[in-house]
Amino acid sequence: MQPLTKKYTRIQILGYLFSISIIVVMALLSCNKTTPAIFGTYRIYSDDPSEERWMIGENTYLKLNNDKTIIYNSTMNGKQRFHFEGNFTVDEKTNTLTIQWKDGKLPDKMQIQKVGSDYVIQIGTTTYKKEKTSS
């Protein structure tokens, strides 16, 4: 009878571990409620051909990371113009970012808007459009 009890205990332990792992995975998924659709890189964008010519050689972007960090970076012809980092929270009802920048005089609130199938951020008169990811 003793070997049967040991097998039953092992099966019971495996069952408990399986249950705990499912609970942990569900908890992790529910903690990250922020829609992953907003995360990614937003590049400076314009439909205006005269503005597109101005943007040649410019690499300006906002990057929203899953760990709630943000990067605002710009280079012109390979030379660094600015690079700012911070942390953000998201109001999921309005898709408004509240940002704590580490330095720089940047907006502490930005709203992500859904325009058709695109996500955009407007800062003043400049539009940043989220890059499409290949699935």
Kindly state the tokens that stand for 112.
């992500």
* pTM for this entry: 0.69
Mean pLDDT computed over every residue of the chain: 82
> pLDDT: is 32 or 24 the higher one?
24
Residue 9 has pLDDT above 50, yes or no: yes
Residues 83, 84, 88, 92, CA torsion sign: negative
How much is the pLDDT for 26?
Answer: 64
DSSP the chain: -HHHHHHHHHHHHHHHHHHHHHHHHHHHHHH--S-GGG-EEEEEE-S-HHHHHHHTTEEEEEEE-TTSEEEEEEEETTEEEEEEEEEEEEETTTTEEEEEESSSS--SEEEEEEETTEEEEEETTEEEEEPPPP-
Q: How far apart are CA 43 and CA 73, in angstroms?
A: 10
Q: How far apart are CA 8 and CA 96, in angstroms?
A: 53
> pLDDT: is 60 or 48 the higher one?
60
How much is the pLDDT for 1?
Answer: 46
Q: How far apart are CA 82 and CA 104, in angstroms?
A: 9
Q: Percentage of the chain with pLDDT > 70?
A: 77
**Fold for the domain defined by 36-130:** Lipocalin (2.40.128)
